[in-house]
């Protein structure tokens, strides 16, 4: 009877652990901030749709330009001040000190004491997918307007590239770290590539030097 009771206790613990694991997975996949996730994509996607369909909807260039710039401005403010902080725990901002000097701050939310992430994986995917994809689309629009000689649209497109590219750069700095960290990562990467190529280069050099020595030795024997 004692053995049966001990085995029952062990089974209960394993079931509780399984329930905890399932609950953790559901929390990771759950969208905790649906409103922020919606507006993270709404303004930037709307600006792209208006740019593509503006000539079909209206013939007024001024109305289209103002609408696109307003959507891009709302997207820049929302992504910079709201969605980045709520969805992925990142924030970048500017601070002016007493001497009038401007300082850029790139911050990331600290991991909780239990070691769990405060943001869900679904929100993180939505955030980074929208943050990276839309600036690439505006860059394509820029080349298209340049090669098709649409000079009047080039200023609007460059506004989209600058505003959304600024958010992309700021959040990459928040995610990766400061400029020193970026430099150290690039240096370490180049160092690894150099060390990988070094044995092959030494082997080639050693082979060439050995062939030269054998060639010189054969010449001395002939003479």
User: In which residue are the tokens 């919606």 written?
Assistant: 38
Q: Which has the higher per-residue pLDDT, 27 or 73? A: 73
pLDDT, residue 93, reads: 85
pLDDT, residue 96, reads: 86
What are the helix (H) ranges across 32-178? 34-57, 61-78, 84-87, 121-147, 151-176
pLDDT, residue 149, reads: 87
pLDDT, residue 167, reads: 95
pLDDT in tens, 34-48: 999 999 999 999 999
Q: Which has the higher per-residue pLDDT, 27 or 83? A: 83
pLDDT in tens, 147-183: 998 888 999 999 999 999 999 999 999 988 755 555 5
Lowest mean pLDDT among 60-64, 70-74, 118-122, 138-142: 118-122
pLDDT, residue 6, reads: 44
pLDDT, residue 97, reads: 83
Q: Rounded CA gap, 147 and 48, in Å? A: 19
Buried b (16+ CB within 10 A) or exposed e, 17-41: eeeeeeeeeeeeeeeebeebbebbb
Structure tokens at 178: 């400061």
pLDDT, residue 102, reads: 85
Q: Which has the higher per-residue pLDDT, 194 or 71? A: 71
pLDDT, residue 118, reads: 60
Q: What angle do CA 160, 164, 170 make, to 5 degrees?
A: 150
Looking at every residue in the chain, the average pLDDT score rounds to 76
Mean pLDDT of the 107-121 span: 67
Mean pLDDT of the 87-102 span: 87
Q: Given a cut of 90, is residue 74 above it in pLDDT?
A: yes
127, 115, 218: which is closest to 168 by C-alpha?
A: 127
Mean pLDDT of the 181-191 span: 58
pLDDT in tens, 124-142: 999 999 999 999 999 999 9
pLDDT category of residue 80 using cuts at 50, 70 and 90: very high
Q: Rounded CA gap, 44 and 38, in Å? A: 11
């Amino acid at each position: 009877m004692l053995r049966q009771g001990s085995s029952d206790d062990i089974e209960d613990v394993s079931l509780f652990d399984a329930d905890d694991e399932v609950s953790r997975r559901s929390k990771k996949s759950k969208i905790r901030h649906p409103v922020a996730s919606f507006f993270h994509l709404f303004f930037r996607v709307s600006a792209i749709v208006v740019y593509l369909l503006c000539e079909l909807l209206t013939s007024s260039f001024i109305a289209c330009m103002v609408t696109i710039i307003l959507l891009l401005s709302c997207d820049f403010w929302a992504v910079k001040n709201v969605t980045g902080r709520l969805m992925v725990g990142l924030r970048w901002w500017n601070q002016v000190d007493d001497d009038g000097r401007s300082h850029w701050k790139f911050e990331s939310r600290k991991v909780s004491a239990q070691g769990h992430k405060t943001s869900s994986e679904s929100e993180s995917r939505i955030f980074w997918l929208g943050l990276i994809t839309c600036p690439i689309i505006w860059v394509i629009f820029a080349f298209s307007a340049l090669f098709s000689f649409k000079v009047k649209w080039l200023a609007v497109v460059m506004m989209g590239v600058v505003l959304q590219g600024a958010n992309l750069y700021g959040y990459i700095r928040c995610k990766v770290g400061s400029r020193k960290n970026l430099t150290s990562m690039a240096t370490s990467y180049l160092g690894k590539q150099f060390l990988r190529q070094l044995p092959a280069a030494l082997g080639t050099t050693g082979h060439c030097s050995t062939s030269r020595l054998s060639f010189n030795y054969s010449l001395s024997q002939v003479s």
